[in-house]
Structure 1
């Protein structure tokens, strides 16, 4: 390998990135090939990336793996890591956990943080090795200390939920904060939840709002919903019903089931927006069809009372029963009352007692 190979590679990168020249994948590939012929690992790797992503040439996973393997065998850690991923996914090569483990380990032993993360995942999931969370944590710790935000989040979440380790909220907050400071929305979201609930930290709706908003600004759907709920139900420092409705509507429109239930509640009660029972019905129906028991209960009540929907006791009973079958105690009590009074259904004291006892059972858990 000569200094000329490195120059060819750099010229290829300039064309690949459009750095100082007009971007041209064809020119980039030409220079990468020249450098690759002289055995320059980074150029060989970039040829693999171009075949893998279809940049400048038709996507060809098998050809990508060929180049990844060449670069990996020359000791290039990025290629070793992506070759391991190819074996995990069966992308361009038959899936093989043993091969994946081998290449992840080679990358990890070169202190390549993504390789350390993936090797940790293999141990955490028991892929190609016996499941071993201590070994997973060891590799993730090495990667996290290098500042890899994805790994910092993984470690933080492990400590937060106690998966494979003893719960440690202090360490959870430490790693989540480091990942959040680097802009990782999943970490920002979970850090916001910790502050909202006071989990291992002094409860602070203001801090919760700050971190949830950072994640929401990156279109993290759970954060958009949770921020909406916080602004709807939080204390006076953060409460903003109008903005809450806007956020919940945004999340509901993108398919978030609990957001559909929450925005329906706002429309039903006229909180932060003009009361609109038809829109409340619309969102509860959407969530009810997806199996949400709160939505099924509220839809049932609408039909029973004839508010927001045409009075229909049978339809009301149908939705209340769906909710009750999932252990929704309010729905169970409603059914008990319906059967005991004969309101909308034939009076049946046995059924009334059955639903009353079911409600008491679920409340006792």
Structure 2
């Protein structure tokens, strides 16, 4: 991608940023071993993403796959620029990176939560899912099962199978919500319809052992296990 294209896209400020990033990208012609890029989850409203943010996000992922710490740093700068331009996927990716940490970027749960909160304003299911996980685990905020369940419900309503599964677990355990086996089963089934293998395995084991108020049923156990095996081969993109 040429510097001229970046100039046409974003003007002077973007050109300066692109010049720095492209210079880093072009350091040395030698081929380096690359780490897998941190792939974004499916965008909630990709058609509305500004072109400038999308270009910077793509460049950021390209740089994050490099082994040179300076190029990785430049990749983070590109993602930050993309997020500032309204790219929700870049905002989410910054949250994921700070939540887990990578060799050249230390873990920072406070910053991760800030990124997820900004991304949540666009109603992206992954943002609400991660806010639920952080509330559940006490990351960047005091552990609060009720708040975790609230975020999981929001993400589940937006179509997140992982959040639907965790919300089912909450109803099964009575963590942050009233204990309700019937509601848990409904949610496990909903997650299973979205090919969430752990939800299908949970239902299989419930039928095998007579849990969640279900009668033992080996036929249903086998059916759900077969569906779980199928789901493992068609795993949905993680949040």
Paired residues for 1:162-201 under 5 Å: 162-164=210-212, 165-182=214-231
Residue of structure 2 in register with 1:88 after alignment: 136
Q: Following superposition of structure 1 onto structure 2, how do residues 266-281 of structure 1 map, counting pairs within 5 Å?
A: none
- Report the equivalent of 1:150: 198
Say yes or no: does 1:135 pair with 2:198: no
Gaps spanning 5+ residues in structure 2: where? 1-48, 234-239
Deviations for 1:178-229, whole angstroms, at most 9, x for unmatched residues?
Answer: 2234559xxxxxxxxxxxxxxxxxxxxxxxxxxxxxxxxxxxxxxxxxxxxx
1:43 aligns with 2:71: no
2:173 is the counterpart of 1:114: no
The one of 27, 32, 42 aligned to 2:74: 27
Q: 1:116-138 deviations in whole A, cap 9, x for unaligned?
A: 11111111111111101111111
2:53 matched to which residue of 1? 5
- Match of 2:140, SS state, is coil
Q: Gapped runs of 5+ residues in structure 1? A: 185-365
Aligned ranges for residues 194-343 of structure 1 at < 5 Å? none
Q: Is the 8 A contact 2:124 2:158 kept in 1?
A: no
**Structure 1 residues 15, 175: closer, same or farther in 2, change over 3 A?**
farther
Partner of 2:83: helix, strand, or coil? Answer: helix
What's the CA shift string for 1:327-353, capped at 9, x where partnerless? xxxxxxxxxxxxxxxxxxxxxxxxxxx
**3-state secondary structure, aligned to 1:93:** coil
Alignment RMSD, CA only? 2.1
Name the one with the larger helix percent. Answer: 1
Please give the secondary structure, in 2, of the residue aligned with 1:58: coil
* Higher gyration radius (CA): 1
Could you tell me how far 1:148 is from its partner in structure 2? 1.3
Question: Aligned pairs, how many?
Answer: 182
Structure with the greater relative contact order (CA < 8 A, sep ≥ 6): 1 or 2? Answer: 2
The TM-score normalised by the length of structure 2 is 0.70
